C-alpha cells in the first residue's frame, strides 16, 4: 500500500513538472511571433519638400514661388512630368525661333518690294512728264520716251515678282503663328496639370492621420 501511494505522488509531481516545462517553452514562441509581425509593418513614408520653383512654367511666371510637401515616393512621377514639360517647352522655343526667322524674312521681302515700288513710282512720274512733252516727229524724243516705257515695264514686272514672293511668305508665317500658339497652350495645360497634381498630393499628405 505504501509503495502504491508513493508511485501516485511521484506521478503527480512528474505531471506538474512537465506542465511547467511546456508552459515555459510556449512563452518565447509567442514573443518571437509578435516581434516578427512588428518588423513586417511598412515604415512610414518620409515626407520631402518638392520645390516647384524649379519647374519651368510659362503660364505661371506671374506667380510667386511656392513649395509643397509631397511624399518622396511621388517625386519620380513629378520629375517625369517636369521633364515632359521641358521637352514641350523646347519645342515651343524652337517654333518661336522659326517664327521670328520667318517674320524677319517676310519683313525683308516686303522692304525689298516697297523699295522697288517707290522706284517704279518715280519712274512713272518721269514717264508721265515725258509723255506730256513728247514730239512724235522728233525721233530722239520718241526713242527716249520708248526707253522710259521699257524701263517702266521692266520695273513693274520686278515689283510684281517681289510682292508675289512676299505674299508667298505670308502663309508659312501664319502657319507658324498657329503652331506657336498651340504649343504654348499645350505647355500651359501641362504646367497647370502638374501644379494641380502636386496640390492634390500635398492635400492628401497633410490629411493623413498620424500613426
pLDDT band at 95 (very low <50, low <70, confident <90, very high): very high
The percent of residues above 90 in pLDDT, for the chain, comes to: 53
How confident is the model at residue 69, as a pLDDT? 80
What span, in angstroms and rounded, lies between the C-alpha atoms of 63 and 11?
88
Q: Collapsing DSSP states into helix, strand and coil, what is residue 63?
A: coil
pLDDT digits (tens, 9 = 90+) for 130-176: 998 888 888 888 999 999 999 999 999 999 999 999 999 999 999 99
Is the model's pTM score more than 0.75? no
How confident is the model at residue 50, as a pLDDT? 36
Q: Flag whether pLDDT at 47 surpasses 60.
A: no
8 A C-beta contact, residue 163 and residue 113: yes
- Domains of the chain by residue range: 91-211
Amino acid at each position: 500500500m505504501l509503495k502504491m501511494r508513493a508511485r501516485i505522488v511521484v506521478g503527480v509531481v512528474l505531471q506538474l513538472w512537465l506542465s511547467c516545462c511546456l508552459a515555459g517553452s510556449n512563452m518565447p514562441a509567442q514573443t518571437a511571433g509578435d516581434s516578427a509581425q512588428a518588423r513586417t509593418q511598412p515604415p512610414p513614408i518620409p515626407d520631402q519638400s518638392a520645390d516647384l520653383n524649379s519647374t519651368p512654367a510659362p503660364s505661371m511666371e506671374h506667380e510667386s514661388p511656392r513649395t509643397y510637401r509631397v511624399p518622396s515616393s511621388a517625386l519620380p512621377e513629378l520629375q517625369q512630368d517636369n521633364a515632359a514639360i521641358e521637352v514641350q517647352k523646347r519645342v515651343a522655343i524652337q517654333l518661336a525661333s522659326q517664327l521670328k526667322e520667318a517674320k524677319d524674312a517676310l519683313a525683308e521681302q516686303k522692304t525689298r518690294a516697297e523699295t522697288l515700288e517707290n522706284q517704279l513710282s518715280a519712274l512713272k512720274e518721269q514717264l508721265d512728264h515725258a509723255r506730256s512733252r513728247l514730239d512724235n516727229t522728233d525721233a530722239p524724243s520718241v526713242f527716249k520716251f520708248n526707253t522710259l516705257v521699257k524701263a517702266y515695264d521692266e520695273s513693274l514686272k520686278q515689283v510684281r515678282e517681289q510682292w508675289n514672293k512676299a505674299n508667298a511668305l505670308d502663309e508659312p508665317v501664319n502657319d507658324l503663328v498657329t503652331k506657336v500658339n498651340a504649343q504654348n497652350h499645350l505647355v500651359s495645360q501641362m504646367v497647370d496639370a502638374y501644379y494641380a497634381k502636386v496640390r492634390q498630393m500635398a492635400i492628401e499628405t497633410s490629411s493623413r492621420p498620424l500613426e
